[in-house]
Amino acid sequence: MRFDIITVFPKIFDSYFGESIIKRARALKLVDIKTHDIRAFAENKHKKIDDRPYGGGAGMVLMADSIVRAVESVKKQKKSKIIILSPKGKQFTQKMAYDWSRKYSQLILISGRYEGIDERAKKILRAEEVSIGPYVMTDGDVGAMAIVSAVTRLIPNVINFNSLQDESFFGKVIKNEAETGELEYPHYTRPEVFEYKGKKYRVPKVLLSGDHKKVKEWREKHR
């Protein structure tokens, strides 16, 4: 899977994508992540990428021309999807992450900033607007990171498939079961007794019993 992120500040992503599971996936060449500075695709004298909105209003709007050129430059795969991160977009879900990990070989993520992106970029590129939640952030960069993280971990061999099966949303998304509203059960690890401010917090006895049937029943009950 290839990810191309179109952004005003490409260095924001270096730290996050250089650690943990995503770093390992990149090293194994299971994913390829590239960031691209929108200013590099501006053809005007001062590398200007934003301007005042027509009709008036506060803030600035990212111009369509640089974004369109950036996407045309990085689009390398036939099975590609173009996404604009926007608070007015469709809510991102685990099902979308799973479907995209199977359906596409390239995701192009356009990070919005300021007051947003000229609507003509969306129309020309046939992009889908996606939001990671019902709130407004300073930019779409964190949203792009969230999508890369959610999709990457579902790519075969990035994470052991067995470890995914007990996760929240697994039944609904991967096994096509009806939505039940159930999330993952509580987790515990060492020590058996954790003491804090004079109070002891114990691991549930059933998890120490060694009785796999009872453990399974407890986990199902507490999902």
pLDDT tens-digit series, residues 113-146:
888 899 999 999 999 999 999 999 999 999 999 9
Does 54 have pLDDT greater than 80? yes
Q: How far apart are CA 122 and CA 199, in angstroms?
A: 56
- Residue 160: predicted pLDDT: 80
pLDDT tens digits for 60-102? 999 999 999 999 999 988 899 999 999 999 999 999 999 999 9
Which ranges of the chain would DSSP assign to H, the alpha helix? 14-17, 20-27, 64-74, 94-103, 119-125, 141-152, 161-164, 170-173, 212-221
Q: How far apart are CA 61 and CA 82, in angstroms?
A: 19
Provide the CATH topology of domain 163-221.
Trp Operon Repressor; Chain A (1.10.1270)
- Rounded mean pLDDT, 103-107: 97
**In contact, 39 and 70? CB cutoff 8 Å:** no
pLDDT, mean over the chain: 91
Candidate CATH numbers 3.40.50.720, 3.50.50.60, 3.40.1280.10, 3.40.50.300; the one for domain 2-159 = 3.40.1280.10
- Residue 30: predicted pLDDT: 97
> For residue 36, what are its two tokens?
């691209």
CA-based nearest residue to 71, from 26, 127, 14: 127
| This prediction's pTM | 0.85
Q: How confident is the model at residue 58 (pLDDT cuts 50, 70, 90)?
A: confident
Helix (H, G, I), strand (E, B) or coil at 136: coil
